[in-house]
Amino acid sequence: MKIIVALKQVPARDSTLKVDGGGKWIQDADLSFEINEPDAYALEEGLQLKEKHGGEVIVLCLGPARAAQTIREALAKGADRAIHIEEENLAGLDTLGMAQLIAKAAAAEQADLLLTGLQSDDLGSGQTGVVAAELLGWAHSTIIMQVDKTDGGIRVKRELEDGWFQHIDLPLPAVLAIQSGINKLRYATLMGIKKAKTKEIKRLTAAELGSSPPAQAVIDRIYVPQKSKQTQILEGPAREVAARLVEKLKFEVRVL
């Protein structure tokens, strides 16, 4: 199987985020970055599928030059090669714009599977993989907990609400959004780190992909939510006060 795993580099979870001077994005000069955790589970699933059925795992990363660090980490864990779509201004791309570039690169590889994490830790839209599938014309499914190869394609197990699951048969090629926790993540070995230095990283731009200018997003302002305290005194008979309190907890505070 030829498997492409889409990875995103995001600020480390313990980072202290500050809005930049223009108020349109965060200050990223002093931040440390890491693999988006949901994407790490997609990578692990891709590596396990390769170990069971053979083939290769290709890392596909859309991001600035610093994303090479994340790519090398994925190669050290066992990916065979990588494609780096260099784009410095990710904040200027909307979901469609990102999906357009990912779909262009994936189509050229003629892969069997494109795996993504369920969502990104920074923006969390959870849409990029689904939009890429539509652009590619491939079958797709989300919140995947298990992937099994069949004679005609794959059979996946989806997580639903309240402990329910759904099993679906899909043809190949397909796009799957992998649920976090599906597998135990592996660490890069010393040998893997050494091998990663010699593995291929193909660098592309939007122009080299033959893509028209990708869809853009306009961010007006980013700001830290203002915290405020408010005290309300409910007066009246106990039964009426209790009913009003429950209503406020449900519809205003939203804790019930």
Distance between CA atoms of 229 and 242, rounded to whole angstroms?
A: 21
CB count within 10 Å of CB 199 equals 17
Q: What is the mean pLDDT of the chain?
A: 89
State percent of the chain over pLDDT 70.
98
Per-range mean pLDDT, top range of 17-21, 87-91, 186-190: 186-190
Taking the C-alpha atoms of residue 45 and residue 129, their distance in angstroms, rounded to an integer, is 16
For the CA atoms of 127, 129, 135, 137, the dihedral, rounded to the nearest 10 degrees, stands at -120
Report the distance separating Cα 95 and Cα 206, nearest Å.
15
pLDDT at 246: 92
Confidence of residue 211 (pLDDT cuts 50, 70, 90): low
> Which residue type, as a one-letter code, is found at position 143?
I
pLDDT, tens digit, 9 for 90 and up, residues 150-172: 988 999 999 988 889 999 999 99
Q: For residue 190, is pLDDT > 80?
A: yes
**Topology of the domain comprising 2-204:** Rossmann fold (3.40.50)
Sign of the torsion angle spanned by Cα atoms 62, 65, 66, 69: positive
> Concatenated DSSP letters for 86-141?
E-S-GGGB-HHHHHHHHHHHHHHHT-SEEEEESS-SSS----HHHHHHHHHT-EEE
Work out the pLDDT band at 212, boundaries 50, 70, 90. low
| Dist. CA 140–CA 115, nearest whole Å | 10
- The pLDDT of residue 73 is 95
At 65-109, the pLDDT tens digits run: 999 999 999 999 999 999 999 887 776 778 888 899 999 999 999
Q: Is the pLDDT of residue 141 over 90?
A: yes
Residue ranges per structural domain of the chain: 2-204
